[in-house]
Amino acid sequence: MMTRSIHPLLIAGTVLVFIFLVGPLVIVVGSALSDTSYLTFPPQGLSLRWFENIFAIDAFRRTILTSLQTAVLATVIALILGIPAAYALNRHRIQLPGWLSTLFVLPVLVPELVLGFSLLKNVAVQLEAPIYLALLFGHALLVLPYVVRVISASLASFDFSIEEAAISLGSPPLKTFFTILLPNVRSGVIAAFILAFITSINDVSISIFLTGPGLSTLPIQLLAHMEQFFDPTVASVSVLLMGLTVAVMAIVERTLGLTFLAK
C-alpha cells in the first residue's frame, strides 16, 4: 500500500496539522497543572490545587451532577424511543412513509440554538413547563439522530429470519426482542449510548437557553466562569472533560474499534 509515494511536502503538512490538532489540548493540560493563580504555559511549578478548587466551588459541583444526570436520562429516553423507531424503519419500511426517516434527522438540520430558543419560548414559558423538562427533552432530541442512525446501521447486518424463526417457534414478541434482537445489536447500542452521552455532556447551544439561576450544566457554567475569572480552574475542569473523552474512547476501542468512528 505504501509503495504509492506521497509528496514529502504533503507529509510535512500533515505533521503540522496534527500538531495543530493536539497542541492546544496539551497546552490546556499544562495550564491546569500550574501552581500559579493565573493561566500560564509552560507551568511554572506543578500542582493539583486547581483540581481541588473545582470541587470547592459549589457551582461546579452542582453543574457536574446536573450534566451527568441529564446526559444519562436524555440518552436513555433517546434509546427507548429510538431503538423501536430504527427497528421499524428497517423491518417495516413499506408500512412507513418516506419522510419519516427525514423527520428523525431534523434535530441535526435545525440549528441547535433555534431549537433551544424555541423550547424556552414555546414549552418552558408558554406552557409553563418546568425548565428542566425542556432541557432534558432538548437533549433527548439532540441525541436521537445518533441513536437511530447507529442502531439502523447495526440492524442492516442483522438477519431477520433468525427473529422469524424464534417467533414461529412460539417466542412472544417482547421476549424475542430481548433475547434475539437486542443481543445482536448490542455493540450498536453501546456505540449509540456513548455518542449520545458525550454529545449531551458537551452541549452548549441548546443548554444556553434552558439554563439560568438555579439550573445550569457544566459547559454553561464553564462559559460563565470564564467570562468572570481567567484562572486555571477552567483548565482543570477542561482536563476532567478530556479524561472523560479518553474513557469514552477506551470503551469504543474495546467494543467496536475506533475505526468505527471514521465510518
Partner 1 sequence: MKRYAGWTLALPATLLVVVFLVIPVLATIWTTFTTPAGPFATYTAFFGSGFRRTVLMRTIQISLATTAIAVVIGFLTAYVVSRSPGWLKSILIVAAVFPLLTGVVVRSFAWLIILGKNGILNSTLLNLGLIGEPMAMLYTPGAVIVAMVYLFVPLMILTLVGVLESIPDDLIQASASLGAKPVATFMQVTLPLAVPGLIVGAVLVFTGSFTSYATPQLLGGEQVMMMGTLMYQQAMVTFDWVAASTIAAVMVVITIAIVLVMTRLARRLNPMAV
Binding mask 199-218 toward partner 1 (x if CB under 8 A, else -) reads --xx-xx--xx---------
Cell reading at 135: 432541557
* Contacts to partner 1 from residues 102-121, by CB under 8 A: 103-104, 106-107, 109-115, 117-121
By CB under 8 A, residue 74 contacts partner 1: no
Taking the complex as a whole, the smallest distance from the CB of residue 52 to partner 1 amounts, in Å, to 20
The minimum distance between CB 213 and partner 1, in angstroms, equals 12
Contact 107, 145 (CB under 8 A): yes
In eight-state DSSP terms, residue 260 is G
- C-alpha to C-alpha distances, 42 to 29, 33, 95, nearest whole angstrom: 10, 9, 61
Strand partners, 46: 34
Q: Which of residues 227-246 bind partner 1 (CB under 8 A)?
A: 230, 234-235, 238, 241-242, 245-246
DSSP H helical ranges for 49-130:
49-56, 58-91, 99-103, 106-109, 112-118
Binder of partner 1 out of 69, 122, 160, 182 (CB under 8 A):
122
Shortest CB 22 distance to partner 1, Å? 6
**By CB under 8 A, is residue 51 in contact with partner 1?**
no
Q: Which residues contact 33 (CB under 8 A, 6 or more apart)?
A: 43, 46, 47, 48, 50
Contacts of partner 1 in 152-191 (CB under 8 A): none
Q: Tell me the Cα Rg of the chain.
A: 22
**For residue 143, which of 115, 184, 179 has the smallest C-alpha distance?**
115
User: Which amino acid makes up residue 154?
Assistant: S
Binding mask 8-47 for partner 1 (x = CB under 8 A): --xx-xx--xx-xxx-xx-xx--x------xx-x------
- Contacting partner 1 (CB under 8 A), which of 64, 148, 155, 185? 148
d(CA 107, CA 240): 28
198 near partner 1, judged by CB under 8 A:
yes
Query: How many chain residues interact with partner 1 (CB under 8 A)?
Result: 89
Q: Which stretch binds partner 1 (CB under 8 A): 56-64, 83-91, 152-160, 185-193?
A: 83-91
CB of 41 to partner 1, least distance (A): 5
